[in-house]
Amino acid sequence: MKLPPLSLRIKLILSFLAVIAFGGLISLVIGWRLVKNTLIGQAQLKVKHDLSAAWMVFNERLNNVKDLVNLTAARESLQLAVQEGQADVIFKYLDRVRRSYALDFLTLTDAHGQVVVRSSNPHRVGDNQASDELVSLALAGTTVASPQILSAAELQKESPELARRARMKILPTPKAAPRQENIETRGLVLKAAAPLINDQGRTLGALYGGILLNRNYEIVDRVKEIVYKYEKYKGREIGTATIFQHDLRISTNVRNQNGGRAIGTRVSAEVSQAVLVKGQPWIDRAFVVNDWYITAYEPIHNLKGEIIGILYVGMLEKPYLDTTNRLMLTFTGMASLCVVVLLILLYFSTTRIIHPLQEMVTATQRIAEGDLSHKVEVTSADEIGQLASSFNAMVDKLQAANQKLIEWGRTLEKKVEERTRELTAMQAHLIRSEKLASLGKLAAGIAHEINNPLGGILIYSHLILEDTDKNSPHYENLKKIVKETARCKDIVKRLLEFARPREPEFSLLNINEIVEKSLSIVERQALFQNIKIIKRYDSHLPKTVADGAQLQQVFTNIIINAAEAMDGQGTLTIQTATVDNNLHISFTDTGHGISEEDKKRIFEPFFTTKEVGKGTGLGLAISYSIIQKHHGTIEVVSQRDRGATFIVKIPVRTNQDE
């Protein structure tokens, strides 16, 4: 199926929309990444600070243990009791201190490192602790404190209860590195040792004590309390802290599926590699037990500087992601709103662009329908405005060209008509000329042959007539012979005149005068007695080059014809005028007129409607050939019984060579 073509407006809006959508999408992606990175970056910064706070709590507790051990060792009463070997007193005292300050163990050795009093396990004495790095330093006179891993046996010595607390099942944890054993029996302690030195400066022994961190939540909960203030997000605690013994969670407030502390779970392999193996801090998102956290991990070192565990703090990533998503949702919503507003604006702005174009389309349609007067309104000076102006200019030119074409068509029609008329006239004229020429030749031949015998007949009959008595019975007959022969002679003369016309003798003449002369010859004849003659001569008629005698012959012919057509009764109007450098001499009579049929033939030689003996039918034929020699024409306007007008038209010439 072919879709209908899209309108210009839809195309414009769609292309704008594509650009906006593309730009919007890119800025959304960039914006989302930017917001997320900024928020997560800030969260990472915060978690880094949180880890410092956690270290403060951790070290504070270590120092607290150190101070306790140090102060207790410095007590004079304790030194006295040691010097005097009062084991009962020492035990009581140490036991009280241990319980009061929540130490898990507090043990005294002699100067050789042999345990004298073990407050947490009074019956287990006599073992030597000199090999312990802290105790050995204390025996050498230094007070030290450090985190330390204690074996199950050592823990057992300090207290079976501690060994129990430290014993822990290693739980399978997603993302953690594989581990062979599934039970941990060792424990991580914060331990301090201090020398007992008497007034004389003699070392009496060493006092060491500490706390077991396994299943001891004091530090991690305090970190949470200080840093996160038990903040919750959707029912879940945001902040978490953990102490790892190697990769094992021994003290934590990260929760497992059942809501209990995730003791016995392990750190992810990735973090383990970075922190435990490479000894680097880890600040990044990490999968902790069962959720993603923004985390900070740092290694815990023992006195020798070996990595024995990890201190961790982490914040639930979800609140940050949700904030990011909320922000992005708001951003997307606002961007969509902007797009809608833009589309509305676009709709109106495209109207401004499209309206003149639509007008132009309408204009072209109107022009195609033939309305060239339609104009486009020019409303702006931009490209569209220029287009409209050019369009109007084009329409103007088109209109002018069209007008010219119409006029040209009209004149062409007129010219064709004129030409056709001329051609028809020329053809008729040609036919006539040919006819005349052949007739002329024939007539001239005959006339020439009979002219001399006729002359003889006329002379001899005339002589006989003179010799004949008037009373003779032959006299009248002879008279008729003479008259008819004279008539024949006259016909032959005219025939010869027609067939071999003499060349005209041109001179500059006033045509009015020629007309007058012609009239004066015929006027006195009886035929004209009852004919009224009206003369309308143009007194300013220009002179022209012509043969006066020949023109006189023509006019006389026409005047006699008119008088004959009126049968000696009526009005003859003679008019002269100049029309377009032509002289028009017209003769209008009130006679019987000429039929359409005869009109075509009146200029033919020998055409006559007059009775035999009256007309030769040569008058108009001779007249026509004379006027032709004058480069003119004779036209007839007539209808049967309505009179006739003969118009002789000759050009005005001042020089016969023209």
Ligand X SMILES: Nc1ncnc2c1ncn2[C@@H]1O[C@H](COP(=O)(O)OP(=O)(O)OP(=O)(O)O)[C@@H](O)[C@H]1O
List residues binding ligand X (CB under 6 A): 557, 561-562, 565, 589, 591-594, 602, 607-610, 615-621, 644
286-294, 452-460, 553-561, 627-635 -> range binding Mg ion (CB under 5 A): 553-561
- Provide the minimum distance between the beta carbon of 506 and ligand X in the complex, in angstroms, as a whole number: 25
- Provide the minimum distance between the beta carbon of 573 and Mg ion in the complex, in angstroms, as a whole number: 19
Give the nearer residue to Mg ion in terms of CB position, either 288 or 627.
Answer: 627
Bridge pairing between strands 644-651 and 582-589: antiparallel
Give the nearer residue to Mg ion in terms of CB position, either 214 or 561.
Answer: 561
**605 forms part of the interface with Mg ion (CB under 5 A):** no
Contact predicate 66/212, CB 8 Å? no
- Provide the minimum distance between the beta carbon of 609 and ligand X in the complex, in angstroms, as a whole number: 3
In the list 356, 619, 632, 643, the residue contacting Mg ion (rule: CB under 5 A) is: 619
Number of residues that bind Mg ion (CB under 5 A): 2
Give the nearer residue to Mg ion in terms of CB position, either 356 or 619.
Answer: 619
Give the nearer residue to Mg ion in terms of CB position, either 144 or 554.
Answer: 554
**561 forms part of the interface with Mg ion (CB under 5 A):** yes
**518 forms part of the interface with Mg ion (CB under 5 A):** no
Distance from C-alpha of 458 to C-alpha of 467, rounded to nearest angstrom = 14
Give the nearer residue to ligand X in terms of CB position, either 45 or 428.
Answer: 428
- Give the DSSP letter string of 445-496: HHHHHHHHHHHHHHHHHHHHHHHS-TTSTTHHHHHHHHHHHHHHHHHHHHHH
Contacts of 424 (CB under 8 A, 6+ apart): none
46-54, 150-158, 384-392, 614-622 -> range binding Mg ion (CB under 5 A): 614-622
Q: Which does 13 bind (CB under 5 to 8 A by kind): ligand X, Mg ion, none?
A: none
Q: Which does 618 bind (CB under 5 to 8 A by kind): ligand X, Mg ion, none?
A: ligand X
Q: Which of 64, 206, 74 is nearest to 141 (CA)?
A: 206
Give the nearer residue to ligand X in terms of CB position, either 33 or 610.
Answer: 610
Give the nearer residue to ligand X in terms of CB position, either 473 or 613.
Answer: 613
Give the nearer residue to Mg ion in terms of CB position, either 3 or 526.
Answer: 526
Q: Which does 591 bind (CB under 5 to 8 A by kind): ligand X, Mg ion, none?
A: ligand X
- Provide the minimum distance between the beta carbon of 559 and ligand X in the complex, in angstroms, as a whole number: 9
Kindly state the DSSP code that residue 526 receives in the 8-state scheme: G
**616 forms part of the interface with Mg ion (CB under 5 A):** no
Cα dihedral: 222, 225, 231, 236 (round 10): 20
Kindly state the DSSP code that residue 277 receives in the 8-state scheme: I
CB atoms under 10 Å from CB of 105, counted, come to 25
| Angle, vertex CA 158, rays to CA 152 and CA 164, nearest 5 | 50
Q: What is the 3-state composition of the chain as percent helix, strand, coil, each rounded to the nearest 5?
A: 50, 20, 30
**Helix, strand, or coil (residue 634):** strand
Using only the alpha carbons of the chain, give its radius of gyration: 75
Residues 303-342 that bind Mg ion (CB under 5 A): none
| Site residues (vs Mg ion, CB under 5 A) | 561, 619
